Amino acid sequence: MTNEQIKQQLIDKFGDLVYHFEEPYGMLTFETATDNNLKVLTFLHDDAQMGFHFLNDLTAVHYPDNKDKELAVVYMLQNITLGLRIRFKVFVPIDKPDVFTATSVFATANWLEREAYDFFGINFVGHPNLIRIMNVEEMDYFPLRKEYKLEEQTRTDKDDDMFGR
């Protein structure tokens, strides 16, 4: 099965609900709307020809300059039998970061979604135990969002020439 065949099957099934197809480094990548993530995941997993039974990774990315699409959930799926990997993204606004949980399709999504919640604040609707997994529960912010300066700009104890700046 080729990337073009996978793309065509996705378009046949979902039409214009899947879009922005690319192939960086040969990996088929596409996007879908937030409320379609579970439908797409289920199709990729359950369809006999697709056979993407392994969720390699689920992560999040913060794009602070993308108005109403500041947070992305990125799914990396693999068809182990055919040696195929694909990636798809779902974008959500930072003020309502709700995405349907993938735990009903992939058991590995449990911990991965908890990590994305812990570091980015993405609310996985329907998750069986969406609590912080690495940070303390008292934390009232999400540390991997790009909302904070990397370092204090008024520091005088650093020589920029030593750091290549």
Quote the pTM value.
Answer: 0.86
pLDDT tens for each residue of 76-123: 999 999 999 999 999 999 999 999 999 999 999 999 999 999 999 999
Range of the domain at 86: 3-146
Q: Determine the Cα–Cα distance for residues 165 and 161; give it in Å rounded to an integer.
A: 6
In a domain, 122, yes or no: yes
DSSP one-letter code for 152:
-
Between CA 80 and CA 98 the distance in angstroms is 30
In this prediction, residue 92 carries a pLDDT of: 96
User: Tell me, what DSSP letter sits at residue 162?
Assistant: G
Q: What confidence score (pLDDT) does residue 116 get?
A: 96
Is residue 162 assigned to a domain?
A: no
Structural domain contains residue 164: no
Question: Is there a domain that residue 157 lies in?
Answer: no
Average pLDDT over residues 6-32: 95
Q: How many domains does the chain have?
A: 1
CATH number of the domain enclosing 122: 3.30.460.80
What's the confidence (pLDDT) of residue 64?
Answer: 92
**What residues have CB less than 8 Å from 84, skipping those under 6 apart?**
1, 6, 52, 78
Contact 57, 112 (CB under 8 A): yes
Q: What is the pLDDT of residue 139?
A: 86
Contact yes or no for 118/58 (Cβ under 8 A): no
Enumerate long-range contacts of 16-20, CB under 8 Å, 24 or more apart: 18/88
Which structure tokens are listed for 51? 């056979």
In-domain check, residue 131: yes
Q: Beta strands 18-22 and 28-32: pairing type?
A: antiparallel
135 in any annotated domain: yes
Q: What is the pLDDT of residue 148?
A: 73
Residue 54 lies in a domain: yes
pLDDT of 165 strictly over 60: no
| Confidence at residue 156, expressed as pLDDT on a 0 to 100 scale | 65
Question: For residue 42, what pLDDT is reported?
Answer: 96
Give 3-state DSSP helix, strand, coil % of the chain, rounded to 5: 30, 25, 45
**Domain-embedded: residue 76:** yes
pLDDT tens, residue by residue, 28-69: 999 999 999 999 999 999 999 999 999 999 999 999 999 999
